[in-house]
Amino acid sequence: MYDPTVARLTYRALLGRRRALILGALPLLLIVISLAVRALAGADDQTAADVLGGLALATMVPIIGVIAGTGAIGPEIDDGSVAYLLSKPIKRPTIIYTKLIVAVAVTMVFSAVPTLIAGFVLNGNGQQVAVAYTVAALVASIAYAALFLLLGTVSRHAVVFGLVYALIWEALFGSLVPGARTLSVQQWSLAVAEKVAGGELVTSDVGLTTATVALAAVTVLATWYAGQKLRTLTLAGEE
C-alpha cells in the first residue's frame, strides 16, 4: 500500500523550489497577519477565531490542498512521465495510496502547523481556539488531499477546478448559502473543531456524526475512484 520510490518522487515534485515557495507563501502570510492583528488588537478570543476561521481554514487550507493534491499526480499525467511509474511492477492503487499519503503530509505541514502557530500568536490558545482550528486543519487536509488528488487524476485542468471549489464553493457559497454549508469540507472539519473547543467561538452547521461520516466517505471514495481511473489510464496506454 506504500511504495518508498513513488513517495520519494512525489515529495521531490511537490517540494521543488518553485512549488515550495508557493506552498510557503500562504502560511507565512497567515503568521504575518496574525502578528499584526495581535499587535493592533491585543489578545482577543473572538478575533483569533475570526482570523483562523476566515483566513486559515476557509482559504489557506483548501488552496494548499489544491497545490499538494493536484501536484502529486497531475503534472506527471500532463507531461506523460506517469508512464515511468505505470511501467513498473507496482499496483495502481499502491501508487494512488502513496501519493495520497504524501499529499496529506505536505498539506498538514503547510496548513496545520502554521494554524497552530498563528493561534498561539493571536490569543495564546485561549478557549482552545488554536488547538481546535489546528485539528480542523488536520482533518480537512485528509479530505482535501483525496479530493484534489482525484481531480489531478481525471482532469488536465485540475488546478482550475480545485481553485473554483476552494474559493467559490467553500469560501463564497459556503459562507452565504445555508444549504451549501452541509456539503462543505470546511463545515465538516469545523464540526470536529467545535467538539474540541467546546464553546461558542467555533461552530458548524453540520453535526459531528454527519461530519465524521462525510469526511471518511469523501476520502475513501475519492481515493478508490482515483485508483480506478489510474487503472483505466494504464489500460488505455497499453492498448
Which amino acid does the sequence have at 183? L
Is residue 118 within 8 A of residue 56, CB to CB? The reply is yes
The Cα–Cα gap between 57 and 107 comes to 12
Is residue 115 within 8 A of residue 62, CB to CB? The reply is no
pLDDT digit string (tens) for the chain, length 239 residues: 888 889 998 998 898 878 888 899 999 999 999 999 999 988 899 999 999 998 999 899 999 999 999 999 988 887 777 877 888 888 888 999 999 999 999 999 999 999 999 999 999 988 999 999 999 999 999 999 999 999 999 888 888 998 888 888 777 766 666 666 788 899 999 999 999 998 788 988 889 999 999 999 999 999 999 998 888 775 444 44
What element of type H or E holds 229? helix 208-238
The Cα–Cα gap between 8 and 51 comes to 35
